Amino acid sequence: MSLSYLIKPSVETKFYIDYTWWEHSRDDLQVYLLTHLSQEQQKALQHRDLREVFDYVHPETGEVFQLDTLRLAIKESSKGEDFIGENIGLIDSVFRALLVNGNQPLSALELGDITGRDPGKILKTIGGVRIYRGIRPHHSNQEAKA
């Protein structure tokens, strides 16, 4: 085990969604991702293959990458003003911020700016020993996987 795991995170420590955590969790990632959609969107996806993959062009960079049906629906949902806000729980808000950011690592300070939450409270929640929804510190020897 790397010693970097023993370092206490600060508000400048970057966090990401570790999708391998979900592989060992009793929770289902797909079910959890569906909870981030409106009831109308969930209903619209009810009879669709959520694993179908589409090319997505990033509107700012022009980069093309692939998204499955579910992540494409989340990308569309993220355009709404209330997708990330104080009306949802802190963990869900942080998770959504990381999703919208393509799971590029973000610090508690950056997450605070995006979510409108106190960075200290974010750090206290996600910077401890317990891992919530696969959100964990990003270390330089790891790669954030989308």
Q: What are the tens digits of pLDDT across the range 77-106?
A: 888 888 887 789 999 999 999 998 888 999
pTM of the model: 0.82
Predicted pLDDT at 111: 96
CB count, 10 Å around CB of 136?
19
% of the chain with per-residue pLDDT over 70: 90
Q: Rounded distance, CA 73 to CA 80, Å?
A: 12
Residue whose entry in the numeric block shows the structure tokens 């993959």: 53
- Residue 18 and residue 21: Cα distance in Å, rounded? 6
The answer, yes or no, to whether residue 110 has pLDDT greater than 80, is: yes
CA–CA dist 56, 118 (Å, integer): 33
Q: Which two tokens stand for residue 111?
A: 């997450």
- Rounded-to-integer distance, Cα 120 and Cα 108, Å: 7
pLDDT at 143: 42
